Each structure stands twice: as C-alpha cells, then as structure tokens.
C-alpha cells in the first residue's frame, strides 16, 4: 500500500510540532494503517478520552467490508506526538456513539448502540475498549442522559 504524507506532516517530522490540534491527515494515515485500505470510508469524532488535554479520535467505519446487519466497526485512536495510535477495534457498533461522564482505568466510558442490547456501556479495561459491544451490559436511561453524543 502506498500512502502519501502531506507536506505539513513532513515539516512537523523535520522541525517538530507541539500542537495538540486535530490533524485529519494524521488520522487518515492511522485509519489506513489500521484497515489496510488506502481510502477507507469513515466518520471521525474528536474528544479527549484519557484526560491528557489532547483530542483522541473515535472512528466509525462504513461500507460493506466494515458493516453488517449488526453494525459497523469502530476504531479508537489515542492522540500521540507522531499522530494517532490505535487503541481498540470494536465490531457491531451503531450510532449514536456517546461519551459517558464515567471513567474506567483513566479513560472515559463510551456508550454505543448495538443490535440486541440497545445502548451498551463500553468500559476501557486498561488497554482497550471491548471488541464486541453486543455482549456488554445495557446502560440505564440516566447514563444515556448524562452522556454526550459524538456521532449520530
């Protein structure tokens, strides 16, 4: 797979950039690496999940390769100095995706819609979010009400 690096990324590689601003080109490279597709279709949402002051990325993939009757694949990336690093991959995820006010192992919990469960709580286990939300516990209406929608 051939991936072109935008000039802005090349310059940051040469002189160093300390900005925590979101760089869509950097995310595109991370998604391409995670999916092994040069032009995967996806919907990104940016939010600080781990409290480090930098917006991480929650990506909902789309298309026949990434979606089925149960939902689509969701990727979570951590914002790191070199771009975005894949934290977890979850299948059968549907919108809306919400960020909860609760935290597990230093990362905000996610609430996703999934077939069979409805709205499921996705707790970070110290290394990743669950791979299959359809086997996680359903959330209460109160938890949904306190969460913030990031994709719909």
Calpha distance 15→25 (Å, rounded):
18
Q: Is residue 102 part of a domain?
A: yes
pLDDT digits (tens, 9 = 90+) for 81-122: 999 999 999 999 999 999 999 999 999 999 999 988 899 999
Residue 10 per-residue DSSP state: H
Q: Is residue 2 part of a domain?
A: no
Q: Is residue 11 part of a domain?
A: yes
pLDDT value, residue 3: 39
pLDDT value, residue 23: 67
Give every CB contact of residue 21 below 8 A, 6+ residues apart in sequence: none
Q: Is residue 116 part of a domain?
A: yes
Burial class of residue 3 in the structure, from the number of CB atoms within 10 Å of its CB (0-12 exposed, 13-18 middle, 19+ buried): exposed
pLDDT digits (tens, 9 = 90+) for 52-80: 999 999 999 999 999 999 999 999 999 99
Calpha distance 40→143 (Å, rounded):
32
Domain containing 117 equals: 7-151
Residue 21 has pLDDT above 60, yes or no: no
């Amino acid at each position: 797979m051939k991936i072109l690096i935008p000039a802005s990324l090349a310059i940051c590689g040469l002189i160093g950039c300390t900005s925590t601003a979101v760089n869509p080109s950097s995310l595109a490279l991370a998604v391409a690496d995670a999916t092994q597709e040069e032009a995967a279709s996806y919907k990104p949402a940016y939010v600080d999940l781990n409290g480090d002051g930098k917006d991480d990325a929650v990506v909902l993939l789309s298309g026949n390769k990434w979606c089925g009757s149960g939902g689509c694949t969701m990727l979570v990336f951590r914002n790191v100095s070199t771009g975005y690093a894949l934290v977890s991959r979850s299948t059968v995820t549907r919108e809306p995706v919400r960020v909860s006010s609760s935290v597990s192992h230093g990362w905000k919990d996610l609430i996703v819609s999934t077939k069979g469960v409805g709205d499921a709580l996705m707790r970070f286990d110290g290394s990743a979010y669950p791979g299959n939300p359809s086997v996680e516990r359903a959330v209460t209406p109160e938890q949904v009400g306190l969460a913030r929608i990031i994709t719909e």
